[in-house]
């Protein structure tokens, strides 16, 4: 198990800006997507330096709120990317949409979590090819710290939220298959994203 220092010196920004801020007397990492990147599910993340990950557990606390400039479709998107290759052209991602969890619309509620695989299996493609399979409901909200845990074993991944004993999302067919790669803290349009207490355990 490795506890990661959240100082910006340990991360490489890719199409994001990063800075350290203090929240609740603790140094956390703030990540904002580059507004010039208009496409969705892109490599917009802070990459953990010099860390190779294949199988194991990625745990982090995440906090998101909408920016004042957020578009109407912003959902507080926040999550992680893993198995990132060297040129950021391929990776797996799992994220949450906290605002979806609280609306009175069952379809949107069912889209509180999301798996995607860059570049060929973004959320919109997966909704066409496999509706419902890569999204699920979970009880979350913006402006609160959320325990976010992903367990990865070869082509299989599970998402656990707020220390639940059961996963809220199960992916049995990671699109890039069994591989190694980097880990990153990911965000999307309209989100003011914060991360702390990153812990990684390798199998």
Phi, psi dihedrals of residue 3, rounded to the nearest 5°: -90, 130
Confidence of residue 88 (pLDDT cuts 50, 70, 90): very high
CA atoms within 13 A on the CB side of 72: 0
2-202 topology per CATH: Jelly Rolls (2.60.120)
State the SS3 of 43-107. CCEEEECCCCECCEEEEEEEEEEECCCCCCCCCCCEEEEEEECCCCCCEEEEEECHHHHHCCCHH
The residues with which 175 forms a beta bridge, in sequence order, are none
Question: Nearest to residue 64, comparing CAs of 54, 74, 51?
Answer: 74
Confidence of residue 167 (pLDDT cuts 50, 70, 90): very high
Contact 80, 182 (CB under 8 A): no
- Calculated CA dihedral for residues 83, 88, 90, 94, nearest 10 degrees: 60
Q: What is the CA radius of gyration of the chain?
A: 15
Domain positions in the chain are 2-202
Residues in the chain: 203
Residue 164 has pLDDT above 90, yes or no: yes
Buried residues in 184-197 as b, exposed as e (16+ CB within 10 A): bbbbbbbbbbbbbb
pLDDT in tens, 104-155: 999 999 999 999 999 999 999 999 999 999 999 999 999 999 999 999 999 9
Residue 99 has pLDDT above 90, yes or no: yes
Contact 103, 111 (CB under 8 A): no
**The pLDDT of residue 71:** 87
Asked whether the bond before 119 is cis by omega within 30 degrees of 0, the reply is yes
**The pLDDT of residue 148:** 98
CA 4/CA 48 separation, integer angstroms: 9
């Amino acid at each position: 198990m490795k506890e990661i220092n959240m100082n910006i010196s340990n991360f490489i920004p890719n199409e994001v800006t990063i800075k350290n801020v203090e929240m609740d007397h603790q140094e956390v990492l703030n990540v904002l997507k580059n507004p010039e990147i208009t496409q969705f599910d892109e490599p917009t993340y802070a990459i953990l330096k010099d860390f190779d990950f294949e199988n194991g557990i990625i745990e982090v606390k995440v906090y998101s709120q909408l920016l004042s400039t957020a578009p109407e479709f912003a959902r507080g998107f926040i999550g992680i990317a893993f198995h990132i290759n060297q040129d950021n052209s391929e990776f797996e991602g799992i994220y949450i949409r906290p605002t979806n969890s609280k609306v009175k619309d069952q379809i949107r509620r069912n889209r509180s979590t999301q798996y995607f695989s860059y570049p060929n299996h973004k959320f919109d493609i997966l909704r066409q090819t496999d509706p419902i399979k890569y999204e699920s409901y979970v009880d979350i909200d913006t402006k609160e710290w959320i325990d976010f845990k992903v367990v990865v074993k070869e082509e299989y991944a599970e998402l656990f939220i707020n220390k639940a004993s059961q996963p809220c999302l199960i992916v049995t067919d990671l699109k890039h298959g069994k591989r190694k790669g980097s880990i990153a803290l990911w965000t999307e349009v309209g989100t003011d994203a914060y991360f702390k207490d990153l812990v990684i355990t390798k199998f």
